[in-house]
């Protein structure tokens, strides 16, 4: 095989791996949500939770040990200063993995764990099918939503519908930024953004040691549709409608 032919085979192998991951997107998303909600209720996977995920999936073994996992975490989480125009930015490691970084970590794990296999696609497939899918926790949002549709739950929401809807409209009419007092106008009145949701939680005195602000971000994230983004920066641009608020 020529060098060009070898490069073409590598490119094809990478495409197969990407297609495989895309086919399992919904399941991997539920797994990501299940673990990102642990360890403080945030919307990204911290290192200790990443280690827990790997142990749940029985990924470490005699050859690919637990000591290799922090290295994988760091490499998948590395911020390159050349990728930004900010002259003050320095190469650093963030505290948690966002969804794309988590997927990168899975690819890195498969590459290191199955060193006897040449194909990246076969490595990723083996990791997902043999380790992750059979063992990982999942966010069972479908079951939760089925429970919400019971007659008992419907009666509770119907009984308090007027007050719930009035409260929703009040906070949906405020365009709020971090640290800004609530001033109610006529902006985005059919939806509530994450800042407005935070103000609602604080003003209703719903936050305490058992329910932190970090957990609120996780709740806001979990009611978003399957197509919406997951990381904290993306949450700034997302909105909840009345149906999502009741959930």
pLDDT tens digits, residue range 139-181? 766 667 777 788 898 898 889 999 988 888 888 876 544 444 4
Does the pLDDT of residue 230 top 80, yes or no?
A: no
Confidence of residue 73 (pLDDT cuts 50, 70, 90): very high
Q: What is the rounded CA–CA span in Å between residue 226 and residue 228?
A: 6
pLDDT tens digits, residue range 25-39? 989 988 998 888 776
Q: What is the rounded CA–CA span in Å between residue 161 and residue 147?
A: 18
The larger pLDDT score, comparing residue 118 to residue 235, is at 118
CB 132 within 8 A of CB 31: yes
CA 15 to chain centre: 24
Average pLDDT score over residue span 178-201:
62
Predicted confidence at residue 183, as pLDDT, reads 43
The larger pLDDT score, comparing residue 214 to residue 46, is at 46
Place of tokens 């994230």: 221
Percent of the chain with pLDDT over 70: 75
Place of tokens 């069972």: 140
pTM over 0.85: no
- Counting DSSP H helices and E strands in the chain, the numbers are 14, 6
Does the pLDDT of residue 23 top 90, yes or no?
A: yes
Mean of all residue pLDDT scores within the chain: 80
Could you tell me the two tokens for 122?
Answer: 């076969």
CB 232 within 8 A of CB 44: yes
pLDDT tens digits, residue range 76-131? 987 654 555 555 544 455 678 989 999 999 999 999 999 999 999 999 999 999 99
Confidence of residue 187 (pLDDT cuts 50, 70, 90): very low
């Amino acid at each position: 095989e020529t060098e060009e032919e070898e490069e073409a085979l590598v490119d094809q192998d990478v495409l197969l791996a990407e297609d495989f991951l895309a086919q399992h997107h919904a399941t991997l998303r539920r797994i990501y949500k299940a673990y990102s909600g642990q360890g403080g209720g945030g919307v990204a996977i911290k290192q200790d939770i990443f280690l827990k995920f790997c142990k749940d999936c029985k990924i470490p073994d005699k050859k690919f040990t637990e000591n290799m996992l922090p290295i994988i975490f760091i490499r998948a989480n590395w911020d390159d200063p050349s990728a930004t125009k900010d002259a003050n930015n320095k190469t650093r490691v963030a505290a948690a993995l966002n969804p794309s970084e988590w997927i990168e970590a899975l690819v890195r794990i498969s590459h290191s764990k199955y060193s006897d296999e040449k194909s990246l696609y076969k490595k990723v497939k083996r990791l997902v099918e043999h380790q992750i899918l059979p063992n990982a926790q999942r966010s069972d949002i479908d079951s939760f939503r089925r429970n919400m549709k019971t007659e008992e739950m419907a009666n509770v929401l119907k009984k308090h519908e007027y007050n719930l809807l009035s409260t929703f409209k009040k906070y949906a009419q405020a365009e709020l930024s971090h640290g800004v007092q609530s001033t109610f106008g006529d902006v985005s009145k059919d939806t509530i953004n994450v800042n407005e949701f935070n103000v609602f939680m604080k003003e209703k005195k719903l936050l305490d040691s058992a329910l932190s602000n970090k957990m609120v971000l996780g709740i806001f994230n979990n009611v978003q549709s399957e197509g919406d983004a997951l990381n904290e920066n993306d949450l700034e641009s997302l909105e909840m409608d009345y149906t999502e608020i009741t959930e």
